[in-house]
Structure 1
Amino acid sequence: MRRNPRELDSTHRKMSRRTLVLGGAQLALVGALGMRMRYMQVEQADQFRLLAEENRVNIRLIPPARGELFDRNGERLAHNSPSYRIIIVPEDAGNVEKVIADLSRLVELDEEDLNRALTEMRRSPPFLPITLADQVSWEDISKIAVNAPALPGITPEVGLTRVYPRRADLAHVIGYVGPVSDYDLKQIDDPEPVLRIPRFQIGKVGLEAKREDVLRGKAGAKRVEVNATGRVMRELDRREGQSGADLQLTVDADLQGYVQARLGDESAAAVVIDCETGDLSAICSSPSFDPNLFVRGISVADYRGLTEDPYRPLANKTVQGTYPPGSTFKMITAMAALEEGLLSPGETVWCPGHLEVSGRRFHCWKRGGHGHVDLNTSLKRSCDVYYYDVAIKVGIDKISAMAKRFGLGVRHDIPMSAVAEGLAPNRAWKERVHNDAWRIGDTANSSIGQGFMLASPLQLAVMSARLATGRAVTPRLVKKINGIEQPSGAGESLGMNENNLRQVRRGMYDVSNNRRGTAYRSRIIEDAYRMAGKTGTSQVRNITKAERAAGVIHNRDLPWERRDHALFVCFAPFDNPKYAVSVIVEHGGGGSTAAAPIARDVMLQALYGDTPPLSAYPAADRGKIKAQQERLHREYPGVAAPVSDRA
């Protein structure tokens, strides 16, 4: 059927309008897409380029070199040494068990290290490198290089490991480093990313831990290109980190080595402090241990040997151990009474061998008593009754306050682990801690350093330095940080009456230099180096009334752990004090027989700066001392030979 021309014209107009509308919509859509593409490709190009880069470029941290430690004379005490490691990438190795078996036929692999590595493999992505062995010899590395085609995934690597060349000499002072553990991370708020680097090492104990803030340094970074699975393809660039600060300690390594050797196999501690500066020239706890064992992870057998030793080699007795100071505390009781005006040096007390206090008999160490005793005699002969009587007059609160002025019952701020506060008790303390009233018998016990009274060897050395100088000498362990001198510990005046101090010092001088002094056998003969000191013996068991009536059992007849502690404190030269020394020998018996000889030898070594001449010792002791010097030199190579044996 033929359509009307008018209808055809109308249909044509309708189709043209639809075409225009549809074409306009398509053109608008294409224009919008074009604008969007221009926006993304031109205006947002930098942002999307960055996102693309981040998808293929990773930032990896570079561990910083740890700061090194030096003694006061510049001898290196802790440093970083290149160390060869054997690394395995499980993904590249394929059959890991076969590769490890092949490797073990070439080099010896420690079973504990191997088990640790296998555990780490199970919880890590297969493309991450795992350390199979650390501190491998160059010969072993050469074997691996030669057999590389047969050991897929195995790579030798060079890193840094911490080394302590003085081994046991400074273990308790420096401490050691070890890999970061989950426990370490939990103890740190917002830990730095560098701490999550596999096997990254941080200070665990001692100075290494306490000055981690300056020793660790700042991590560097490198940009590496990785593929879609995260495997490293190449290194693009790197920014080296900042090494940790170097620390120079106040310790004299040679003196420290001598003191450690002189303590020998005893369960003991000794501290040497410079009276002028407060510098800790030696601070030794015995027995010690080799901190290098802990750097890579100590074996179970070695660790068990240390923890099961009754002499507790892991404990730092110099600052962590607290003991009843015994008669070394008597100077504090005397100073409290003198400063309060309740005692004059010539005033005497009758000592019949005991003192009745509130119906209880407090005994003197000398069963028959000392008779009439003044201040000088009380120190020289260490009369207990004199101090019972004086303490009851002055009261425990004044004695406690005086103890703290001399550095007892105070936690000294030095960067070592578990520094103890000790205890200088008073009435308020007993009420608060024991919910009990202070009794007069407690005062009598405290007056001779027994009862609740506790002090560390460090505190006793500080006390001795303050008695010697009249100043608030404060211990200092770090001398310089990156060459910058740290504040001195010389201290200001204690504000004590100088005449009172002089009387106490004179009594201490007679302890060592008067024939009736308790430490006369351990005196120094050299006039320029005369020593003032005080013996101490602290009980660790109660002596029953029945035992006292029958005769107190001698220390040598008791099991080791029930024997008295032996103590000695001193300073020298008497006229111009240079050093103060404290020594404690756990369960050593008497202070005059066990601790005083060690303190005398240590003091002479410090004063001479080397093995002292035999002329500094009493004539009767020179043969024994010469044999001792020869033995120490033979058994401990760091100890110098006797003077007469040198070329």
Structure 2
Amino acid sequence: MSRKQREQERVRGIFARRALLLGAGQMGLLGFLAWRLHRLQVEEGERYATLAEENRLSARLTAPPRGRVLDREGRVVAGNRLNWRALLVAEQTADVVATLDTLSRIVPLTETERARIEREVRRRRRFVPVIVREFLTWEEMAHIELNAPDLPGISVELGTTRLYPEGEHLAHVVGYVAPPSERDMDGDPLLELPGIRVGRAGIERHHDRILRGRAGAVQLEVNAVGRVIRELDRREGSQGDDVQISVDAELQKAIRGKIEEGTSVVLMDARNGEVLTLATRPSFDPNVFNSGVTAAQWRQWTANRATPLINKPTNGLYAPGSTFKMVMMLAALEARVTTPGERVFCPGHMDLGEARFHCWNRNGHGSVDMRQALKVSCDVYFYEMAKRIGIDRIAAMSRRLGLGVPLDIELPGARAGLVPDRAWRQAQGKPWALGDTVVHGIGQGFYQLTPLSLATMTARIATGRAVQPHLTRAIAGRPVRGSRPEDWPSLGIPEQHLRLVRESMWAVVNEEGGTARAHRLPAALGAQMAGKTGTTQVRRVTREQRERGFRVEQLPREWRPHALFVAYAPHDNPWLACAVVVEHGTSGSGAAAPLAKEVLVEAFQRLRPGNPTPRVAQVPRT
């Protein structure tokens, strides 16, 4: 074989080996592909089909309507209304700025709104809607729809927003809602939905979870980048449960129409603790929080010395003055430091060491027993009782009657107030003096009590039960526990002691010489009230002023005493308990007692005593 033939044979061998290797590689690759295809399509076909379907479908939550708040007669005091809002989809318009310019000629947009919209358009994907304006009026919505051809990318969407028909009249009770903040995020996916609101105050906050409802779901078909192609299925959410409260909206409005700035009125059903009225002035409009509180509005509220944002019946703190003297009577009887018939002489003052403690009546009341002392509000008598009882036993009876302790009211932030004792004073590093005890015997000193706690005290005295004030009558049509008198335990105070206090309070209003005799209920009403006046100093009266015979009317209004009055009615079958505080009203008999009379007359005319078990209102949802 020639050299040329050997070379050709060698080349053919190399080619054959390479062809064999290449063929083997191809067969191996084809085998791997076949195995992989079998695995994907046969062994794992079902799993990948499911993943593909999940990528094609997008399930999104939808916000449910919020539950309503109803008053005791079933009137809606917090409901929902339609909310038209304009949205912008950037990919549907060639020029976002031009579109916004056109829209501004229909619905004026501020520079701040324009900046926010343009910022959100830059931050989001172009197919994601951006809210341009919420709370459109019907006219604004109609103009946008009419000019739709000239507004590419602009659409109008219908949602709901919170509505408070009674406005400022029930603002402190019902509260308001606002968008959730980061601290509200508790894992509930509902809070991440656009347009969702959470309770920020009052009943709205206390029953927020009940009122929220359950989210609905919509199933959408989307493409690879998440753009919505079409809606495949929709499941509506469940509206939040309705909450019925004990306050009567019409009575609340009527009473607020009678009071002035700085006045608080609490009216309760003494039998079961239901709060019928919780009124104060000034207040605020909770509807403002839906559209956002402006900086100017917030400055106006916070700069107002009358503090419209504070619910004074539950958060205002006052010394109780002579309305505290019923506590002193019960404490003295329980401690057995006196008897109802023992008489104490009042010359118009009491000396203790070098200090002199004055009675409100400079000429004194002469010799008085316990019943007379409350009727004429003799300070000297209760100075003497305070010395005998001691501050710790006074404090114990106070708390038993609901003073200075947390009350189970459904208003977040409600204050318990302060009833001092020796331990409290020692915690401040100061000793408790006998003079302190004497002053506290007439409800002055360190006491800080709310009008709600004074109404609770009055209800407990009237019924002998440890009723707790509450606002909730029913949830989702089911009465709540605590709506019946028998739900509340006895105070454990002897009935004869309570009877003496009630008779003394009746004398205050209905007997000649009583401090509130001029303000007894009209005979035509067929009921009598029992009550007690109170006047608390906000500025100490000096000895020089007393010697000059000054009158409190000469003081600037902000230095005048607060006026208080507590009462229950009818005397023979109590079912209403009331507390009135008039800031700087000068005297309880002159300012608070006549107002309490008007409040009780209004309540008798509007409310039915009936059975204290709540009648649950059945109001159809719309």
Q: TM-score surpassing 0.5? A: yes
Are 2:299 and 1:304 equivalent residues in the alignment? yes
**Distance in 1 of aligned mates of 2:134 and 2:83:** 7
Match of 1:628 in 2: none
Which of 219-228 and 491-500 deviates more?
A: 219-228
Sequence identity of aligned pairs in percent? 45
For the Cα contact (< 8 Å) 2:60–2:218, is it kept in 1?
yes
Cα pair 1:337 1:390 within 8 Å, conserved: yes
- The answer to whether structure 1 residue 534 and structure 2 residue 558 are counterparts is no
- Contact 2:410 / 2:470 at 8 angstroms: preserved in 1? no
Cα separation, 1, equivalents of 2:120 and 2:582: 45
Q: Counterpart of 1:311 in 2: which secondary structure?
A: coil
Name the CA distance, whole Å, in 1 between partners of 2:116 and 2:368. Answer: 68
Q: Distance in 2 between matches of 1:284 and 1:118?
A: 45
Counterpart CA distance in 1 for 2:404 and 2:119 is 47
* Aligned equivalents of 1:340, 1:557: Cα separation in 2: 42
1:67-114 Cα deviation digits (max 9, x unpaired): 011111111111111122222224434433332222222234567766
| Matched position secondary structure for 1:474 | coil
The offset of 1:12, in angstroms, is 9.3
AA aligned opposite 1:176: Y
Match of 1:355 in 2: 350
| Structure 2 residue aligned with 1:148 | 148
Paired residues for 1:428-577 under 5 Å: 428-432=423-427, 434-489=428-483, 490=485, 491-526=488-523, 528-554=526-552, 556-577=553-574
Counterpart residue number, 1:315: 310
Matched, 1:243 2:246: no
* Cα pair 1:326 1:536 within 8 Å, conserved: yes
1:20-58 Cα deviation digits (max 9, x unpaired):
676555434432331122112222223323333444433
Indicate the larger mover: 8-17 or 521-530. 8-17
Provide the residue aligned with 1:129 in structure 2.
Answer: 129
1:273 corresponding residue in structure 2:
268
Quick one: structure 1 residues 18 and 233, their matched pair in 2 at CA, closer, same or farther if it must change by over 3 Å?
Answer: closer
Describe the SS at the equivalent of 1:39. Answer: helix
What aligned pairs does 1:85-484 form with structure 2 within 5 A after superposition?
Answer: 85-109=85-109, 117=117, 120-121=120-121, 123-180=123-180, 184-188=181-185, 190-263=186-259, 265-432=260-427, 434-484=428-478
User: 2 CA distance for matches of 1:283 and 1:567?
Assistant: 16
Native 8 Å contact 1:391 1:447 kept in 2: yes
Query: How far apart, in 1, do the equivalents of 2:514 and 2:94 lie?
Result: 78
Alignment root-mean-square deviation, CA: 2.6
Contact 1:71-1:249 within 8 A present in 2 as well: yes
8 A contact 1:365–1:384 mirrored in 2: yes
Instruction: State the match for 2:617 in structure 1.
Output: none
1:72, 1:113 → 2: CA distance?
Answer: 41
- Once the two structures are superposed, residues 104-143 of structure 1 have per-residue CA deviations (whole angstroms, 9 ceiling, x without a partner) of 2223456776666556556544433233332222222221
**Partner SS, residue 98 of structure 2:** helix
Gaps of 5+ in 2: 609-622
What is the alpha-carbon distance in structure 1 between the residues aligned to residue 566 and residue 372 of structure 2? 18
Q: Say which SS state the counterpart of residue 172 (structure 1) adopts.
A: helix
Pair 1:185–1:10, CA change in 2 (3 A)? closer
Query: Please, which runs of 5 or more residues in structure 1 have no aligned partner?
Result: 612-647
1:82 partner SS: strand
Q: What's the secondary structure of 2:256's corresponding residue?
A: helix
Aligned in 2, Cα 1:289/1:14: closer, same or farther, shift over 3 Å? closer
Distance 1:11 1:132, change over 3 A: closer
User: For 1:329 and 1:567, how far apart are their aligned partners in 2?
Assistant: 10
Deviation, 1:399, is 0.8
Is contact 1:110-1:133 (8 Å) kept? no
Report SS of the residue matched to 1:468: helix
The 1:230–1:262 alpha-carbon spacing in structure 2 relative to 1, beyond 3 Å, is: same
Alignment of 1:609 with 2:606, yes or no, is yes
Deviations 1:360-394 (A, max 9, x none): 22221122221112111211111111111101111
CA contact (8 A) 1:67 1:245 kept: yes
CA contact (8 A) 2:401 2:457 kept: yes
- Relative to structure 1, the CA distance from residue 124 to residue 530 in structure 2 (aligned partners, 3 Å threshold; closer, same or farther) is farther
Task: Indicate conservation of the 8 Å contact 1:255/1:609, yes or no.
Answer: yes
1:597 to partner: Cα distance: 1.0
Bigger mean CA offset, 544-553 vs 508-517: 544-553
